[in-house]
Amino acid sequence: MPELLKLDNVSINFGGLTAVDGLNMTLTKGNIRALIGPNGAGKSTIFNLVTGIYAPSMGKIFFQDQIINKLSPHIITSMGIARTFQNIRLFSNLSVIDNVKIGHHCRSGGSFIGALLRTLATKKEEALIQKRALDCLALMELTDKAEELAGNLSYGEQRRLEIARALATKPALLCLDEPAAGMNPIEKEKLANIIRKIKHMGITIFLVEHDMKFVMNLAERVTVLDYGKKITSGTPAEVQHNPAVIEAYLGKEVI
């Protein structure tokens, strides 16, 4: 199986704090990889490194064999890495479908002048963007909410809308930062099924999540992080029985 994303000895320091410390990690194309660890372990920081929000202090990040360390988030998105955020970031005063169309923006070839002049090419592109946005909403089971204001959606629906927007960028790698946070068990079940569907579309998933049942049911491999360092990596069964993992989660009874 080919490698999609590779972190080679990646570290980042914030002042005196090493938030990610010499991390080596490889994501196989087409898999669901989970990244777990206690609060402050460095999980979201890894997503920020992979998506270009931060540049590593040390080490290299490869995506499809290209070094992406110093590329801007915009370029990294256009190369095929999309993400959602731990804290929902939607335009609550825009409609649901407009929030998804914003995701298309990085893929669109239409120029600003073209948009102003409403050229035929731009109109064609707009129709395409509308269709793709509707496809993404259908996948996330939000078709009937397309014209509602994003701010009026339930919490679970807003989380799914964030994923729809990320999918609109046509990613090869989708990074989900706590997608099930705040969801009830029924919403979580629905989300798990949708994530499986996304995987079957050939999109590789990088999943950060605190709900261990959710993680262990979905991921092929799980990497465990504590204080910025990898404790272990393996199948869900291997990881759950690892004494160092149990130690990191001691008292939390999450595994």
43 is a site residue for ligand ATP (CB under 6 A): yes
Nearer to Mg ion, 37 or 80 (CB): 37
Identify which range of 40-48, 100-108, 158-166, 234-242 contacts ligand ATP by CB under 6 A: 40-48
3-state secondary structure the chain: CCEEEEEEEEEEEECCEEEEEEEEEEEECCCEEEEECCCCCCHHHHHHHHCCCCCCCEEEEEECCEECCCCCHHHHHHHCEEECCCCCCCCCCCEHHHHHHHHHHHHCCCCHHHHHHCCHHHHHHHHHHHHHHHHHHHHCCCHHHCCCEHHHCCHHHHHHHHHHHHHCCCCCEEEEECCCCCCCHHHHHHHHHHHHHHHHCCCEEEEECCCHHHHHHHCCEEEEEECCEEEEEECHHHHHCCHHHHHHCCCCCCC
37 binds ligand ATP (CB under 6 A): yes
Interface with ligand ATP includes 66 (CB under 6 A)?
Answer: no
19 is a site residue for ligand ATP (CB under 6 A): yes
User: Binding segment for Mg ion among 78-86, 116-124, 150-158, 230-238 (CB under 5 A)?
Assistant: 78-86
Task: Please tell me whether residue 11 binds ligand ATP under the rule CB under 6 A.
Answer: no
The answer to whether residue 14 forms part of the interface with ligand ATP (CB under 6 A) is yes
Check binding of 44 to ligand ATP (CB under 6 A). yes
In the complex, which residues of this chain contact Mg ion (CB under 5 A)?
Answer: 43-44, 86
Interface contacts to ligand ATP, rule CB under 6 A: 14, 17, 19, 37, 39-45, 86
